[in-house]
Amino acid sequence: MIRIATAVILATASPAAATEIFEAEGAWVGEGLLATGAEAPLERGRCRVEIAPDPEQRDVSVTGSCAVAAGVSDISLRILRSGDARVNAGFWSAATGQTVQFSGTEIGTAIEMQSTTVLLVDETPYESRVSVSAPDAESFAIRQLLRAEGAEAWRLVVDMTYRKAGG
């Protein structure tokens, strides 16, 4: 299975303005750049996901897949509001078979999250940061950074902007 897991699973982490992810529903398409591995270069990618929030907007599940020219990988995530502007998330990817836990805060229309469990790539543990912003009313952007544990520099592995499918 192609190693697009590290980045791709997070590429769909949060939609639009963070406050809107729990309102977002249906099919969304992400366009942008993905790295197919922790040390791989960025390349063009596309994601297609289905977003299904619960009616009370405290819980949202996102399932779909992300593709680069060389392959495609299924992904799944669930995000929960835990009160006091705190959010927790769990992300799974078919490419790695791993689920990574995240925790962070909602500040206005943005979400900032940090991984609370490591992602193992070639037996090297990696930590991760995810930021979600809302450049306009119809889209949201996600940037994800990754670094090996103990390293100083963060690497950009996802830069993806989502729009409603067919919109």
Listed ranges 53-61, 64-72, 127-135, 137-145: which one lies at the site for another protein (CB under 8 A): 64-72
Using the Cα atoms of residue 17, residue 54, residue 4 and residue 87 in order, give the sign of their dihedral: positive
Listed ranges 11-19, 63-71, 103-111, 137-145: which one lies at the site for another protein (CB under 8 A): 63-71
78 φ, ψ to 5°? -140, 135
- Interaction between residue 71 and another protein (CB under 8 A): yes
Q: Going by DSSP bridges, is the β-strand pair 99-107/86-93 parallel, antiparallel, or unpaired?
A: antiparallel
75-104 mask for another protein (x: CB under 8 A)? ------------------------------
- Interaction between residue 153 and another protein (CB under 8 A): no
Between the CA of residue 22 and those of 7, 9, 25, 165, what are the distances in Å?
22, 18, 8, 17
What is the rounded CA–CA span in Å between residue 54 and residue 90? 16
What is the rounded CA–CA span in Å between residue 80 and residue 22? 9
What number of chain residues touch another protein (CB under 8 A)? 19
Binding-site member from 25, 26, 41, 151 for another protein (CB under 8 A):
41
- Interaction between residue 3 and another protein (CB under 8 A): yes
Q: End-to-end alpha-carbon separation of the chain, Å?
A: 31
Listed ranges 16-24, 69-77, 106-114, 139-147: which one lies at the site for another protein (CB under 8 A): 69-77
Q: How far is the CB of 135 from another protein (least distance, A)?
A: 18
Residue nearer to another protein on the CB measure, 42 or 80? 42
Enumerate the β-bridge partners of residue 96.
Answer: none
Binding-site member from 17, 72, 87, 134 for another protein (CB under 8 A):
72
What DSSP character marks residue 9? H
CB atoms within 10 A of CB 67: 17
**Within a 13 Å sphere around the CA of 50, how many CA atoms are in the beta-carbon half?**
4
- Interaction between residue 45 and another protein (CB under 8 A): yes
Which residues of the shown chain bind another protein in the complex (CB under 8 A)?
Answer: 1-3, 33, 40-46, 48, 65, 67-72
